[in-house]
Amino acid sequence: MHKPHLVYFADPMCSWCWGFSPVIEAISVRFGPALPIRLILGGLRPWTKEPMNAHSRGDVRNHWEHVHEASGQPFDFAFFDRERFVYDTEPASRAVVVLRRRGMETGLAALRRIHRAFYAENRDVTDTATLAALAAEFGVDEAAFRSEFESEAAMEETRGDFAIAQSAGIRGFPTLIAGDRDDDQYALVTQGFQPGASILPVLEQWLGKAAAMSSALSSEACA
């Protein structure tokens, strides 16, 4: 992608990513096509097998409370009444990958929708039926979604996203990086939650510098 762009590493079952969701939306609204966002699913806790115990529920609840306080995003704490919930983030990630095939904007919207379903509506987004119902909100037939979701190709694409995050050294979510003309060189925008008031001015300044450099290079080429 040889133009200014962002790469967003996130997970649909990452509470801090849910807190950061309005910031990503604000970036899209503010900059639009001038600063496209590429979504990569990071793989927070894929293929978890063991159900949550009292200690892990307490730890997760503590995170949710901090995210709610920092971001104002809604949470349904009735989630913690669930018994033996297995916090496997791979199915929700794979659902986003399937919907992302309809376009990156759809992928980002699917991430937001699954976030809301899990955190604010207490829906089980590890469940295929729940994910199929959410996909239907994007106009995807539930049977068609199930077929695509359960395919080896979708599983492989999801694993590919996780591998990209690992090879890039991404260890926490949300992580947002910015690239200009060279896909191998990126600048870190944030690793972890920050409010839009901190992020948007930085991107405004960076995008202005990128545009000025592009103009200068074009002038040199024409000289």
Q: How many domains does the chain have?
A: 1
Identify the residue whose tokens are 């395919």: 151
> DSSP character for 52?
P
Q: Assign 217 a pLDDT band (cuts: 50, 70, 90).
A: very low
Token digits of residue 197 = 């008031």
Predicted confidence (pLDDT) per residue in 21-61, tens digit: 999 999 999 999 999 999 999 999 999 999 999 999 999 99
Residue 24 is predicted with a pLDDT of 98
Domain around 21:
5-222
**CATH for 194:** 3.40.30.10
Q: Each residue of 183-205: pLDDT tens digit?
A: 568 999 999 999 999 999 999 99
- pLDDT by residue (tens digit) across 119-173? 999 999 999 999 999 999 999 999 999 999 999 999 999 999 999 999 999 989 9
Helices (H), the chain: 15-31, 54-71, 90-100, 104-119, 128-136, 142-149, 152-167, 196-222
Has residue 79 got a pLDDT over 60? yes
Query: How many other C-beta atoms can be found within 10 angstroms of the C-beta atom of residue 144?
Result: 13
Angle at alpha carbon of residue 189, lines to 22 and 214, rounded to 5°: 110
Q: Is 110 within 8 Å of 56 (Cβ atoms)?
A: no
Beta bridge partners of 179: 5, 186
- Which H/E stretch holds residue 6? strand 5-10
Residues ≥6 apart with Cβ < 8 Å to 40: 7, 8, 9, 10, 161, 164, 165
DSSP state of 126: T
The 10s digit of each residue's pLDDT in 113-127 is 999 999 999 999 999
For residue 46, the 8-state DSSP code is: T
Task: Give 176's DSSP letter.
Answer: E
